[in-house]
Amino acid sequence: MTVKKYMLFFTPMCPKCPKIKEFMNTTSLEKEWVDAATKPGLQKARELGVGGVPMVIFFDENGKEVSRANSLEEVKRVIENKTLV
């Protein structure tokens, strides 16, 4: 399984989001950050079944969801266990 892209859902008041944002900026993955405190961001979160932040959704090269993580430890585990492009 190849992880190609991620989508990070966050809000400005989320206490755990800054550490995940900082870490995700060190990866070579394509990224999309979604502020779930905005109307469009909340809509996108609802569409994808995101119930809380932070939430990182990982996608393969075909755009298929392959994993989710909501803590820095889980994010690192996903990245270490997947082949990255």
Q: What is the mean pLDDT of each run of 10 residues along the chain (85 residues)?
A: 91 96 94 97 97 96 94 91 60
Quick one: tokens of 3?
Answer: 């992880």
Residue 74: both structure tokens together: 């889980």
- Global pTM value: 0.91
Q: How many angstroms separate the CA atoms of 4 and 28, rounded?
A: 9
User: To which CATH superfamily is domain 2-84 assigned?
Assistant: Glutaredoxin (3.40.30.10)
CB 58 within 8 A of CB 30: no
